[in-house]
Chains A and B, each alone.
Chain A
Amino acid sequence: MSDKHQHNPEEHFREQHLMLDPMPRGKMNDMVMDSMNTTSWKFWVVFAILSAVVAWGLFYSWGKMILEGLGIAGVNRPSYWGIFLVNTVFWIGISHAGTFISAILRVFKAEFRRPFTRAAELMTTFGLVQAGFSIFMHMGRVWLSYWLMPYPNQRGLWPNFHSPLSWDLLAITTYLLSSTMYLFLPLIPDMAMARDRSTGWRKTFYKILALGFRGTEGEWTHLRNAMNIFAFAIIPVMFSVHTIVSWDFAMATRPGWSSTIFGPYFVVGALHSGMGAVVIVLGVVRATMKNMKYFIRPEHFEAIGKLMLIISMTWAYFFFNDYIVQWYGGDKWTKTLLHFHEAGPMGWMWFGMLICNIAIPWAVLWNRKWRSTPWIVGTVGLFINFGMWFERYIIIPVSLSINRMPFTWRMYQPGVEIPLGIGTLAFFILLYMAASRLIPLIPVWEVQEGQMAHTLTKFGRETVVTVSELE
């Protein structure tokens, strides 16, 4: 602490912590509204470029694949699963951050979560949209996707509920609906706030979404109860989704996939990439949106940085556990596959995965000053996302490239998957940019509630932060 701060610890705490630096509610509302309503020309340039990328990468390329068939994709014997499923797993992983931050940190009353729960929840919903797109791309004949649904028909078609792929449909649908509802519930009071401060089409838009919310005792009671139920119930749903995704692989008795630890390993991997994505989003939001420096502070990056470090260590533990058990087993084909991962043509990706997921986070995030610096943590988040995408690529097409029948061995060469993958990424960013203009990214009432609960108390000569439990 500097001399100035030693003399005035309260000022030091206010500078550091949003919860100890309250502003009048009206001012915070104005700041959030201002951040939504202020749009520079740079925003529209990026928006236009991304729209063009989406039009080309997602809609044109997908349309072309629908017209010409899956043959223009790189999936073929022996790698029948390629980048479409890599991206599906990747985007479902990204979606885990929202629930982790919003639900788990809410249950454990981690106060630093308050200003960025919505930013994370939006990632969940938009990430799942991309995951859904990627799965439909993989299906090829997407217009027949209703065959997945259980409905009485004369052809005797029925989903095979013994299959992890059917469980996937149930789990992803449950998670998409739940996370969208969980995004919407705490948004209602902020929509009412926006309704009270808007005119024109925005007023109509917010009025519709605020549903007539006024903030009566009854409305808050119902909302609080529902949010508590969601916070607890959505956690097992989140765990189930990525566990079931892992079972798509682990239920097959093939080298590299058949692993009892795949469920938790995938869940931790999802959290790893999700948290990495959250810091990237928060860094961009803080740097580009008006007034966000008040709400999103270095303390938040510091707290997320710590979580990222812990999750990185947990991921390393699961990775090593999975690796050593397979290596020790001595099965010929498993050993061949492990050697192929490390020393084969995609060996650079295997080492890149370890560098991005373990070496870089550990080398940077141990340092409090570094993990409090938004651009440094954001860069680590970017590396983690490269690392986690590499991990999924290695598990899916690289592991499928070799099998127990050497005459079928062939490296996977992606085709139309590349523009489609770029298209989903661009669409995710585009949705986020559109949402940042329409939805208050900061849950103002939650921030105010947190600020009401935090006070500074003197214990002897020391000033400490105390938090009251208001619920």
Chain B
Amino acid sequence: MTNEKSLLAVFSDLEPAADAIEQLRHLGIHDDCMNVISGVPVTEAMLGRPHQWTNVPRLAMGGAILGMATGIFLAFVSPTSYEIQVGGQGFAPVPVSIVVMFELTMLGMLLSTFLGVFLDSYFPNYRPMHYVPEVSDGKIAVLIECPQADEQKITDALKKLGAESVQMAEAQHL
């Protein structure tokens, strides 16, 4: 939308950033219109932010189920096509099948966990994005989408709360 502005406020510490988020809410900015960028993991509780949704555990579970199904297929179904008689054992004895099922379950779970991070985070993403490199120096950046009319009011409020800088956020190549 043309009357929407993106602001990027940089804070040196966690406390003023948390205060700023609270103040932004009082100024009518919804939580969905804010994003916090940091160089260390900062929990939602520290910043008073709503819980972040992640699909990673569900994807991990799905991968585990898929892996186990592959293990069951290899251990119990494939021997019917390629019959191998080993030391008087049955074609698909349970003890040896447990090993195959375990390894493939874990492989499925870990692969899908890894891919889950890619899917949920939209990795790899080499398009221009809102970012300030100071974040990896320990600063905390708050990215705000706000109506153009409120820009000055928000900038003043953030500076008053200790923002080191508040600038128009421009998407740039990282």
Contact = CB atoms under 8 A, between A and B. Distances in A.
A207 B125 CA distance: 10
Residue among A158, A174, A193, A195 with the highest chain B CB neighbour number at 10 A: A174
A225 B49 CA distance: 17
Nearest to B173: A207
A407 interface: no
A233 interface: yes
B168 interface: no
B52 A221 contact: yes
Contacts of B42: 217, 220
B138 interface: yes
Contacts of B148: none
Interface of B: 35-44, 46, 49, 52-54, 56-57, 60, 74-75, 78-79, 81-82, 84, 86-87, 89, 93, 96-97, 99-100, 102-104, 106-107, 109-111, 113-114, 116-118, 120-127, 129-131, 133, 135-138, 174
A221 B42 CA distance: 9
B98 to A, nearest CB: 10
A211 B118 CA distance: 9
A105 B53 CA distance: 27
A229 B136 CA distance: 25
A234 interface: yes
Interface stretch (A55-63, A364-372, A416-424, A444-452): A444-452
B124 A212 contact: yes
5 contacts: A25-B138, A158-B81, A229-B110, A229-B113, A470-B46
Listed from nearest, the 10 A-B pairs whose CB atoms lie closest are: A25-B138, A158-B82, A212-B125, A26-B137, A196-B133, A221-B52, A211-B123, A170-B103, A211-B124, A162-B86
Interface stretch (A9-17, A177-185, A286-294, A351-359): A177-185
B136 A230 contact: no
A237 interface: yes
B121 A177 contact: no
B117 A214 contact: no
Interface residues of A, number: 64
Contacts of B40: 25, 445, 448-449, 452
B108 to A, nearest CB: 10
A106 to B, nearest CB: 13
Interface in A219-266: 219-226, 229-230, 233-234, 236-237, 240, 244
A216 B110 contact: no
B84 A217 contact: no
A226 B107 contact: no
Nearest to A451: B40
B79 A181 contact: no
A163 to B, nearest CB: 7
Contact of B110 (A195, A222, A233, A240): A233
A171 interface: yes
B139 to A, nearest CB: 8
Given A167-B100, A233-B110, A215 B174 contact: no
Residue among A161, A170, A221, A237 with the highest chain B CB neighbour number at 10 A: A161
A212 B129 contact: yes
Nearest to A448: B40
A210 interface: yes
Contacts of A471: 41, 43
Given A448-B39, A452-B40, A218 B120 contact: yes
Contact of A217 (B35, B39, B116, B131): B35
A192 interface: yes
Given A215-B39, A218-B52, A161 B97 contact: yes
A24 B54 CA distance: 31
Nearest to B92: A161
A162 B84 contact: yes
B109 A29 contact: no
Interface string A428-471: 00000000000000000100110010000000000000000011
Contacts of B79: 158, 161
A39 interface: no
Contacts of A229: 56-57, 60, 109-110, 113
Nearest to A243: B99
Given A161-B74, A173-B107, A214 B84 contact: no
Contacts of A222: 54, 56, 116-117, 120-121
A225 B106 contact: no
A29 B135 CA distance: 12
A470 B43 contact: yes
Contacts of A226: 56, 60, 113-114, 116-117
Given A223-B121, A233-B106, 10 more contacts: A25-B136, A158-B79, A167-B96, A174-B104, A177-B111, A207-B174, A211-B123, A211-B124, A214-B174, A220-B42
